[in-house]
Amino acid sequence: MTINLPILPYDAAGGAEVEVTWSTAVATSEGEISWTSRRRPLAIRVFHLTIGPDQAAEVDAIYLAVSGPTFPVGVRSWKDYIAADEVLTWYLQSGNTLAQLSKTERPATGSRVYVQPILCPDQAEVPLVVKVDGFEVDYTLIDPGIVMVAGELTTGQVMTWSGRYVYPCRFVEDTQTTKIITRSVLSVPDVQLREIQAAELMRLAAL
């Protein structure tokens, strides 16, 4: 990740409850036929965390540093944070090959898939690896989560990536309550964060 986001402690994200939300308009006709329309093309995750004593001081410091809901933070979802040889849709630009990192969710049945853009690859523990036709290649990482390989691929060549990632989020609340369990032992019982998408991430990261 090249955007310098503070990352919530991994153990804190491990205890999260994660909601996946859409914004869907539903209209029902006289014939009881429902017509649906998505107000946005991607789902949004909402994280509910209980922060224990080991992470409370760090989360409190992050909340202050990002001015509460003002600036973005990164959150690992233990539900889904690993990519393994994910196939990328690449395109050519100025003699180079670029691709937005992504992860595809494929149900075991049906023909529909969901493609999640990965905006914040996380290389704190595992390096990001890009391959072309199964061979590892050098790349440049460009925000938000775009990889660039020198030279132009040709039709039929396959680019993949493997690594880990966090979701860019903002704190939901303008107030955070820290509970004093005993002297110097703290917890934060209810932290909520809402995922943000590429345009908002880049705007906030530039401030």
Element (H, E) at 37: strand 34-38
pLDDT tens digits, 155-199: 999 999 999 999 999 999 999 888 887 777 777 888 999 999 999
Q: Which sequence spans correspond to the domains of the chain?
A: 10-205
d(CA 44, CA 85): 24
> Is there a contact between 60 and 68 (Cβ–Cβ < 8 Å)?
no
In whole angstroms, what is the distance from residue 194 CA to residue 95 CA?
37
pLDDT digits (tens, 9 = 90+) for 36-62: 888 888 999 999 998 888 888 899 999
Instruction: With beta carbons less than 8 A apart as the criterion, state whether 157 and 111 touch.
Output: no
